[in-house]
Amino acid sequence: MSKKSNKIVLPQTFFEGRTPPKGVDLFSYQNIEFYKEHLYYAEHGRTINGFRFTGDYYWYMNFFPINLLVLDKYGNPTDEEKIAYRGDR
């Protein structure tokens, strides 16, 4: 975790739960192991670079979708729907 001005920037390894293995079957051994690992982090928490994150926080940052309001170039809301996850840049 690094600090830039007043913002704390989490390492990309913290967000790897968002990106399951590409090109593998949903029920493949590799995919199931991937989700077992990240569900373990969501239950027990995770330590990265000496910083401890609770399981709830890990779940929220990696798996909890957030509906975003999309604005046009004038700052007015549009009908466009966008879903993001906490920490998306």
Q: Structural domain boundaries of the chain?
A: 2-64
Global pTM value:
0.62
| Cβ–Cβ < 8 Å for 77, 67 | no
Apex 83 CA angle, 80 and 86, nearest 5: 140
pLDDT at 48: 86
| Amino acid in position 41 | Y
Tell me the pLDDT tens digit for each residue of 49-84: 888 999 999 888 888 877 777 888 998 888 887 776
In this prediction, residue 89 carries a pLDDT of 44
The whole-number pLDDT of residue 8 equals 63
Higher pLDDT, 19 or 88: 19
- pLDDT tens-digit series, residues 13-53: 777 777 788 888 988 999 899 989 999 999 999 998 888 99
